[in-house]
Chain A
């Protein structure tokens, strides 16, 4: 899982 879509949470 790519790192940046880990950060789709607020």
Chain B
């Protein structure tokens, strides 16, 4: 564990808590993409299959349980409890255009052609594009609530911090995982234009409003 990875995990944790607070306080899921949350649930389920078979640390297990629990709770809030406020017309990204290529790529490019390894690789590739339905929805509605902007900033920062973690681990431990790094770079790049909007607007107290 190193400071970059710890900050990354805390940023990820903060993003999920911000999202839950937004939904619970406003009792609304307006502006939130249910499809992205379904993709995140798929990512966590595929990546944490070893939750019960390999114990790494209390921290690791607690975070995995928290991430899986909260993402499914989020889906429950979007599609059941606050269903009336879910904006399905704008949440229209075709996720099959993500899942099929990512699934195929995981079969072709992986560290080891073994079931668990391919599923882990699938979760890494899927996570890098899982935010697309959410960003697509914001571009369609043309705006994002400030709290949703904070959620996306924390979520984007988490993988950017993981990139720093991988740089540190490369020099400190000689650890290097090309698949995780390439997917992490793609994932972080997808947030770049949002980061620009966030820093130039939200930091100055304005709302994000994209040219629709």
Contact = CB atoms under 8 A, between A and B. Distances in A.
Interface stretch (B33-41, B60-68, B85-93, B146-154): B60-68
A4 B9 contact: no
A2 to B, nearest CB: 11
A8 B112 contact: no
B145 interface: no
Nearest to B13: A10
Given A9-B5, A10-B9, A10-B63, A4 B175 contact: no
B108 to A, nearest CB: 19
A6 B177 contact: yes
Contacts of A9: 5, 162, 165, 180
Interface residues of A, number: 8
A10 B177 contact: no
Given A3-B111, A3-B112, A3-B117, A8 B56 contact: yes
B177 A8 contact: no
Interface residues of B, number: 20
Interface of B: 5, 9, 12, 50, 54, 56, 60, 63-64, 67, 111-112, 117, 120, 162, 165, 174-175, 177, 180
Nearest to A6: B177
A4 B54 CA distance: 9
Contacts of A3: 111-112, 117
B64 A10 contact: yes
Nearest to A1: B175
A6 to B, nearest CB: 6
Contacts of A1: 174-175
A4 B112 CA distance: 12
Nearest to B66: A10
A7 B56 CA distance: 9
16 contacts: A1-B175, A3-B112, A6-B111, A6-B175, A6-B177, A7-B50, A7-B56, A7-B120, A9-B5, A9-B162, A9-B165, A9-B180, A10-B60, A10-B63, A10-B64, A10-B67
